[in-house]
Amino acid sequence: MKSFYRFCPKCGGNLEYKKFDSATHPQCQKCGFVFYINAKPAVGAFVVDRDKILLTKRAIEPSRGKWDFLGGFLETSEHPIDGLKREVKEETGVNVKVGVFLGFFMDEYRYGNIIGQYVLNVFYICALKGSNFKLDPEILELKWFGRDEIPWDDLAFKNTRDALNYYLDDKRKKT
């Protein structure tokens, strides 16, 4: 596994990857500090309207030009629902009604063959409170997709696919 992390955040010494229990973490060769690379929390708005699901086409890397959900990383100490409302407002210019919790989905941001960061995605089923969109420069396009129209080959991340599969499987069980 390649990583961005090569130097200790405490003393600047070289990091060497070592196995600790069931996980591998970098440890400083100079001061002994173990640098735990924990997943970064992010939120995703699984916006639905009747039988349609809203996806966004990404304007930035990673996965530029691929389809994803509205959302993003939480700020320090931000509650997931507050972060979700903030992200949707920033990205679309409209407010969102946050509904039920959909699930947690793990993923990693990759830049080529380098893992940039691990991500814990918290998804909620949502509804938009408007349609007068003012798209953030991070988004190329918003589009509603029916179950049979989802662009499976052009999804941005594993968590995008996992959340869609989980939601669609759950809907099949209820019908």
68 and 157 in contact (C-beta within 8 Å)?
Answer: yes
Task: Let me know if the fold of 1-37 is the same as that of 40-174.
Answer: no
The mean pLDDT values, 10 residues at a time, for the chain of 175 residues are 77 92 89 90 96 97 95 97 98 97 91 75 97 96 97 97 93 53
pTM of the predicted protein model = 0.84
Closest residue by Cα to residue 58 from 136, 164, 159: 136
The two tokens of residue 27 are 């440890």
In this structure, what are the phi and psi dihedrals at residue 115, rounded to the nearest 5 degrees?
-80, 120
Q: What is the structure's pLDDT at 173?
A: 54
Q: DSSP state, 22? A: T
| CATH superfamily placement of domain 40-174 | Nucleoside Triphosphate Pyrophosphohydrolase (3.90.79.10)
At 175 the pLDDT is: 41
Q: Measured between alpha carbons, how far is 131 from 153 in angstroms, rounded to an integer?
A: 27
Which CATH code, of 1.10.260, 2.20.70, 2.60.40, 3.40.109, is assigned to 1-37?
Answer: 2.20.70
pLDDT at 82: 98
Domain boundaries defined on the chain: 1-37, 40-174
Give the pLDDT confidence score for residue 171 in this predicted structure.
64
pLDDT in tens, 52-66: 999 999 999 889 999
